[in-house]
């Protein structure tokens, strides 16, 4: 599926699977699942889990199901289901016909709950939410039994049926597993497994007023689907005894096994669902697919290739250590793929006009340019040249620092794929003193050739023929947060937002070949970075480009240091 996945990674989860296989468990089957709750868009952290689950299934000749864990109607919606399906497909994974919903199991789960009651392992509790909390005890004190704990099976069955039938108010009754109110693990102190919630479900509508809790629904959904290895994140480690307990009461033979790994944390970004939702709702970004968002939809729109995300997930590994991955690694993976695959193009973001005085006014030349310097198979394109061109403002300095090798008074520079030009004079705005135009001369002998006298031209800059350049809008993105670990501390995340995460440049130019660039297509603007045609706002007469990621910039680093 991916050329970068040639080396199968090894990690503690695969070691467990190897051992299970060696022990003859599950008849040699490996079945995983990715179980999102459809109450938000998936992000790069989910991508790690997706790559893990689908990757393991592929590696072991097994299967990976997509299952929506939709047991709490509040906040869940079809929009999220659809976005999740789209995003996983885009990431490059396929679950064939194995798309499931926990909500499709509601009737079976109900029957499992009835069996639990019949076995004397669950009871209907009348305590209020507050009372249940009080009865639960604390880390250091054991809990107390609910007064309802010893109801008869018959009464429990009757009450539970009436809960389902809608006879009771929301919150007036719950179904609880009867385990151990003195357990040192709070999860095991008679956990709630069903609650009454009169809220329409986006799939089952009003047919249910009771909904199973995660701990009850998840393990049984895994069992129903024949999952062998149920991979989840570390915060569920405390829940594993409950996962096993429920299955022990209800099932015999091979059972799914829960394995926990450390979730992804990314520097300078936040992956908390709560914060992501707030960023969208409060308008700090323009939507779930804002190119600054760490969502799969955002990264796709930004122009990150799916393969780069997969490669990133392979690179970071899987372990149980808390981690904070340097976002530079993600950017590295993006550059690595784009360097190989993105055709080169010319664009000027902050134009400065240059008149080449000794070049004829009515002439247009066309230069044949390679689409990729290292890969001739990517072909060539024609680039027009004329007397007036635009260069990048940054590529001229009146009083340049030491190692500057671009245009300056008295200097010469190579125009990429064209001639060597020499500075002659500049025109300044009388009021502001700003340089508004340059005059240069060109050396006709240097067309695609070094200067005849053998002198070395150090600098190469990009340019565009003013007459032929296509106006474009370019959006420069930077990290959304200014601090390395915005999730640390309970500070208001708003304060660590980067006010300069988006810079919109409206007066840019791109080469004519890009006039009709396909939305979503990517190229490298030479010397600037990788760019992607925005799939939402770009129009044929007015292309809009998103900067995917800048090129590595050793010069920028040097000059930053002074």
Nearer Cβ to RNA (282/560)? 560
Q: Are 190 and 146 in contact (CB under 8 A)?
A: yes
Q: Which residues contact 138 (CB under 8 A, 6 or more apart)?
A: none
- Is residue 302 annotated as part of the catalytic site, yes or no? no
Among the options 161, 263, 353, 416, which is catalytic?
263
Nearer Cβ to RNA (67/292)? 67
Residue 111: both structure tokens together: 């029957």
Smallest separation, CB 188 to RNA (Å): 9
Nearer Cβ to RNA (153/551)? 551
* CB atoms near residue 111 (< 10 Å): 11
Residue 210: both structure tokens together: 């009771």
Q: What angle do CA 376, 379, 384 make, to 5 degrees?
A: 120
Cα–Cα nearest to 191, from 218, 231, 161: 218
Could you please report the per-residue DSSP string of 458-496?
A: --EE-EEETTTPEEEEEEEE--SBSSS-TTSSS--GGGG
- Is residue 393 annotated as part of the catalytic site, yes or no? no
Q: Which residues contact 225 (CB under 8 A, 6 or more apart)?
A: 31, 33, 65, 67, 98, 100
Q: Are 299 and 44 in contact (CB under 8 A)?
A: yes
Distances, alpha carbon 200 to alpha carbons 36, 203, 213, in Å: 20, 8, 16
**What Rg, from alpha-carbon coordinates, does the chain have?**
31
Smallest separation, CB 484 to RNA (Å): 9
Q: Which 3-state string (H, E, C) describes 237-263?
A: HHHHHHHHHHHHHHCCCCCCEEEEECC
Among the options 25, 29, 37, 197, which is catalytic?
37
Among the options 25, 136, 144, 273, which is catalytic?
273
Nearer Cβ to RNA (163/290)? 163
Q: Which residues contact 139 (CB under 8 A, 6 or more apart)?
A: 186
Nearer Cβ to RNA (220/318)? 318
Q: Quickly tell me which residue has 């809960």 as its tokens.
A: 163
Here the contacts of 364-370 (C-beta below 8 Å, separation 24 or greater) are 364/465, 364/467, 364/468, 367/417, 367/418, 367/447, 367/448, 369/344, 369/417, 370/344
Residue 236: both structure tokens together: 């569920």
- Is residue 398 annotated as part of the catalytic site, yes or no? no
Q: Which residues contact 70 (CB under 8 A, 6 or more apart)?
A: 37, 38, 76, 81, 101, 102, 103, 201, 202, 203
Smallest separation, CB 243 to RNA (Å): 11
CA–CA separation, 271 and 555 (whole Å):
32
Q: Quickly tell me which residue has 């789209």 as its tokens.
A: 86
DSSP state of 342: P
CA–CA separation, 267 and 518 (whole Å):
32
CA–CA separation, 356 and 418 (whole Å):
13
463-465 and 388-392 beta bridge pairing: antiparallel
Smallest separation, CB 184 to RNA (Å): 3
Nearer Cβ to RNA (27/322)? 322
Q: Which residues contact 559 (CB under 8 A, 6 or more apart)?
A: 401
Smallest separation, CB 132 to RNA (Å): 5
DSSP state of 283: T
Nearer Cβ to RNA (427/558)? 558
DSSP state of 360: -
CA–CA separation, 555 and 32 (whole Å):
47
Chain centroid to CA 544: how far? Answer: 22
Nearer Cβ to RNA (249/265)? 265
Smallest separation, CB 139 to RNA (Å): 4
Write out the catalytic residue numbers. Answer: 37, 263, 273
């Amino acid at each position: 599926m991916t050329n970068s996945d040639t080396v199968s990674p090894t990690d503690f989860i695969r070691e467990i699977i190897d051992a299970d296989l060696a022990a003859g468990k599950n008849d040699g089957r490996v079945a995983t699942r990715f179980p999102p709750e459809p109450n938000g868009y998936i992000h790069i952290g989910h991508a790690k889990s997706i790559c893990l689950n689908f990757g393991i299934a592929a590696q072991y000749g097994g299967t990976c199901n997509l299952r929506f864990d939709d047991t709490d109607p509040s906040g869940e919606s079809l929009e999220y289901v659809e976005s999740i399906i789209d995003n996983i497909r885009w990431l490059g994974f396929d679950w064939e016909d194995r798309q499931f919903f926990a909500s499709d199991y509601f009737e079976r789960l109900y029957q499992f709950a009835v069996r639990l009651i019949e076995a004397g392992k669950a009871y209907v509790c009348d305590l209020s939410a507050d009372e249940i909390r009080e009865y639960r005890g604390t880390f250091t004190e054991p809990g107390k039994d609910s007064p309802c704990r010893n109801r008869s099976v018959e009464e429990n069955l009757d009450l539970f049926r009436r809960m389902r039938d809608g006879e009771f108010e929301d919150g007036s009754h719950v179904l609880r597993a009867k385990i151990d109110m003195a357990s040192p693990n709070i999860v095991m102190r008679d956990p709630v497994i069903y609650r009454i919630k009169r809220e329409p479900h986006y799939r089952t509508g009003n047919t249910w007023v009771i909904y199973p809790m995660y701990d009850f629904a998840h393990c049984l959904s895994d069992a129903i689907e024949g999952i062998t290895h149920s991979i989840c994140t570390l915060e569920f480690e405390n829940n594993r005894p409950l996962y096993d307990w429920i299955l022990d009461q209800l099932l015999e033979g091979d059972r799914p096994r829960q394995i926990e790994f450390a979730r992804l944390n990314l520097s300078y970004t936040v992956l908390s669902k709560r914060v992501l939702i707030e960023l969208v709702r409060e308008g700090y970004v323009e939507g779930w697919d804002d190119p600054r968002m760490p969502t799969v939809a955002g990264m796709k729109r930004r122009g990150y290739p799916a393969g780069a995300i997969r490669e990133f997930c392979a690179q970071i590994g899987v372990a149980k250590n808390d981690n904070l991955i340097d976002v530079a690694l993600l950017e590295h993976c993006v550059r690595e793929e784009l360097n190989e695959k993105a055709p080169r193009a010319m664009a000027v973001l902050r134009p400065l006009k240059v008149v080449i005085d000794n070049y004829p006014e009515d002439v247009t030349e066309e230069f044949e340019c390679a689409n990729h310097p290292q890969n001739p198979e990517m072909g060539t394109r024609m680039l027009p040249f004329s007397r007036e061109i635009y260069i990048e403002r940054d590529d001229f300095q009146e009083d340049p620092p030491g190692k500057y090798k671009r245009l300056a008074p008295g200097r010469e520079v190579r125009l990429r794929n064209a001639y060597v030009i020499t500075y002659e004079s500049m025109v300044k705005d009388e009021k502001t003193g700003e340089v508004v135009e340059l005059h240069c001369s060109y050396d006709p002998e240097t067309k695609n050739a070094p200067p005849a006298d053998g002198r070395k031209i150090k600098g190469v800059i990009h340019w565009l023929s003013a007459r032929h350049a296509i106006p474009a809008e370019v959006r420069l993105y930077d990290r959304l947060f200014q601090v390395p670990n915005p999730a640390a501390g309970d500070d208001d995340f708003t304060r660590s937002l980067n006010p300069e995460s988006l810079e919109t440049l409206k007066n840019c130019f791109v080469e004519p070949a890009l006039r009709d660039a396909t939305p979503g297509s990517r190229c490298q603007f030479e010397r600037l970075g990788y760019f992607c045609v925005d799939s939402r706002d770009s129009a044929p007469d007015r292309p809009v480009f998103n900067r995917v990621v800048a090129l590595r910039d050793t010069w920028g680093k040097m000059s930053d240091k002074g």
